[in-house]
């Protein structure tokens, strides 16, 4: 942890950086009505643990001030600040997921405090506790001994059981505003005697997305170059901090290391990050790499144009989605997952699938125009007739169906896999009609290359030259519901996609 953050963290309630938190706790202090259990809710780096330690000092200080604030000088205050006070227990639920820590808490909570007036249990990331641990904690919260105080901290309140929440006094640590971050950083500037060029604090405050911790970390990094901090230096540091991560994430996405991408994004989220800003930089980078493939700029990542194109499109879409996302990290996570799916299922890309769908649509239109008599619309079938047997029964197809799938498997694993969830329905002229139960499967199998591959195998194995896919009845009903739904939402989605593509390639689509 940043030593500036530790050195300049608020030590009394009146020094707390967030106005609302300060007022709430000060009011309790004034009335002498501190709760026996608090739930501190808010993003990382918003000062929850600092505030928890202040409360621990408030209830254990030997010589509190007239307003009830800790003196910061007695043995208890000092020990708590150093993290060595015997009656303050800090439990990190993220690393003590087991029930053991809470069990120990429950077993020992009945014992009187050793050195202070109250035992204070600070449980960080409390939402990470297991169900068993929550139950044990709940029992303790239901009948807390007079000498105990709990401060539960969480970044994800919705994961904390309601039974726990209802027994705590909730304090919301909202994301700090720009002014609050500036005020907090100003203490460091004063304390360290730093000389900042005008605009430096504002720029820092803007870039840390409300995280005091991140702000202190950056300022400390800047101060390591000297007492005078220029705006240019800040821009340099901000650029390189994210610059390394941007390149790293881009590299992982392009090489399809889904798990590593997700882990990296998670660790970034823990450290506090402005996702919107990061995604835009990521887009800039992959777009630059795509252009580099055409000789504009420097190639830094070895990748095929096709792969870069898909990554760029998906990141562009994520940029648009982040602004309205409930979980801001989600759109980028989805990029990684979708890229993974791309490789596994189609081996192609979003646009290839889309274009082929359009072609199938056109083909269907053509068939309609030609009417029933020549519903195939495919001339090559007539030419191939010679090799085709006159009459093939469905039973014959069924008896060889496993063979067909088996011989397809080495050629194309996904076609074989898709066929396993379909079944031959009937033989119509020279067509084998195959029933698919999911619209998605049908669309995948209708793609030109896959259909051809299947037809060649069928011709060889059973003497049928062509296939046609229909949706099973259940699927038809489900698809109708989906289509109705699509009609309402699709235009907006498409517009967004088109916009994103236009943005990326600077062309009209």
Residues that bind Zn ion (CB under 5 A): 61, 70-71, 74, 77
CB of 324 to Zn ion, least distance (A): 48
Q: How far apart are CA 281 and CA 285, in angstroms?
A: 6
For residue 69, CA distances in Å to 18, 55, 60, 63, 331 come to: 17, 9, 11, 9, 45
Query: Looking up tokens 């449980």, which residue turns up?
Result: 123
**Packed helices 48-60 and 19-31: angle between N→C axes, nearest 10 degrees:** 20
Q: Are 434 and 420 in contact (CB under 8 A)?
A: no
Strand-pairing partners, residue 195, are: 228
CB of 78 to Zn ion, least distance (A): 8
CB of 136 to Zn ion, least distance (A): 32
CB of 57 to Zn ion, least distance (A): 6
Based on CB atoms, which residue is closest to Zn ion, 61 or 189? 61
CB of 60 to Zn ion, least distance (A): 8
SS (H, E, C) 324-349: CCCCCCHHHHHHHHHHHHHHHHHCCC
| CB neighbour list of residue 76: distance below 8 Å, 6 or more residues apart | 57, 60, 61, 62, 85, 115, 116
CB of 64 to Zn ion, least distance (A): 7
| CB neighbour list of residue 273: distance below 8 Å, 6 or more residues apart | 209
Based on CB atoms, which residue is closest to Zn ion, 147 or 442? 147
CB of 11 to Zn ion, least distance (A): 10
Q: How far apart are CA 229 and CA 121, in angstroms?
A: 40
Q: How far apart are CA 414 and CA 353, in angstroms?
A: 14
Based on CB atoms, which residue is closest to Zn ion, 26 or 479? 26
Length of the chain (residues): 509
Based on CB atoms, which residue is closest to Zn ion, 16 or 54? 54
Q: How far apart are CA 324 and CA 200, in angstroms?
A: 29
Based on CB atoms, which residue is closest to Zn ion, 42 or 68? 68
Based on CB atoms, which residue is closest to Zn ion, 58 or 273? 58
Based on CB atoms, which residue is closest to Zn ion, 83 or 110? 83
Residue 68 phi/psi, 5-degree rounding, is 95, 0
CB of 54 to Zn ion, least distance (A): 11
Based on CB atoms, which residue is closest to Zn ion, 78 or 439? 78
Strand-pairing partners, residue 470, are: 435
């Amino acid at each position: 942890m940043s030593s500036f953050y530790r050195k300049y963290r608020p030590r009394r309630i009146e020094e707390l950086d967030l106005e609302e938190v300060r007022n709430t706790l000060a009011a309790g202090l004034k009335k002498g009505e501190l709760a026996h259990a608090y739930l501190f809710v808010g993003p990382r780096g918003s000062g929850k643990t600092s505030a928890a330690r202040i409360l621990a000092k408030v209830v254990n200080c030997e010589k509190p001030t007239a307003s009830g604030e800790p003196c910061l000088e007695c043995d208890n205050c000092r020990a708590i600040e150093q993290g060595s006070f015997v009656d303050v227990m800090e439990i990190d639920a993220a690393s003590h997921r087991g029930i053991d820590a809470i069990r120990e808490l429950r077993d020992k909570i009945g014992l009187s405090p050793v050195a202070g007036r109250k035992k204070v249990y600070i449980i960080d990331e409390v939402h990470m506790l297991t169900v068993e641990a929550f139950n044990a904690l709940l029992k303790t919260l239901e009948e807390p001994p007079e000498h105990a105080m709990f401060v539960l901290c969480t970044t994800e309140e919705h994961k904390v059981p309601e039974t726990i929440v209802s027994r705590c006094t909730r304090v919301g640590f909202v994301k700090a505003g720009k002014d609050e971050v500036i005020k907090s950083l100003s203490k460091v500037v004063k304390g360290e005697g730093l000389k900042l060029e005008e605009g430096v604090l504002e720029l820092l405050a803007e870039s840390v997305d409300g995280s005091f911790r991140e702000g202190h970390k950056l300022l400390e990094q800047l101060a390591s170059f000297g007492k005078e901090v220029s705006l240019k230096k800040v821009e340099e540091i901000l650029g390189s901090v994210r610059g390394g991560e941007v390149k790293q994430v881009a590299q992982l996405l392009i090489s399809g290391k889904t798990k590593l991408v997700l882990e990296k994004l998670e660790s970034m989220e823990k450290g506090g990050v402005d996702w919107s800003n990061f995604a835009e930089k990521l887009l800039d980078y992959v777009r630059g790499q795509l252009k580099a493939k055409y000789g504009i700029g420097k190639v830094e990542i070895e990748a095929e144009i096709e792969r870069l194109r898909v990554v760029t499109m998906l990141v562009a879409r994520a940029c648009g989605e982040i602004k309205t996302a409930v979980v801001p990290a989600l759109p980028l996570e989805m990029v990684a997952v979708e890229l993974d799916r791309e490789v596994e299922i189609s081996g192609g890309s979003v646009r290839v699938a889309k274009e082929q769908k359009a072609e199938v649509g056109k083909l269907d239109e053509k068939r309609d125009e030609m009417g029933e008599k020549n519903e195939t619309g495919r001339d090559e079938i007539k030419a191939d007739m010679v090799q085709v047997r006159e009459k093939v029964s469905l039973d014959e197809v069924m008896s060889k169906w496993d063979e067909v799938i088996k011989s397809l498997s080495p050629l194309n694993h996904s076609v074989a896999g898709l066929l396993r969830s379909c079944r031959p329905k009937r033989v119509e002229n020279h067509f084998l009609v195959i029933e698919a139960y999911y619209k998605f499967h049908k669309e995948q199998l209708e793609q030109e290359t896959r259909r051809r591959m299947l037809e060649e195998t069928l011709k060889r194995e059973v003497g049928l030259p062509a296939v046609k896919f229909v949706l099973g009845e259940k699927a038809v009903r489900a698809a109708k519901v989906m289509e109705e739904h699509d009609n309402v939402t699709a235009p907006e989605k498409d517009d967004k996609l088109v916009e994103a593509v236009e943005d990326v390639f600077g062309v009209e689509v």
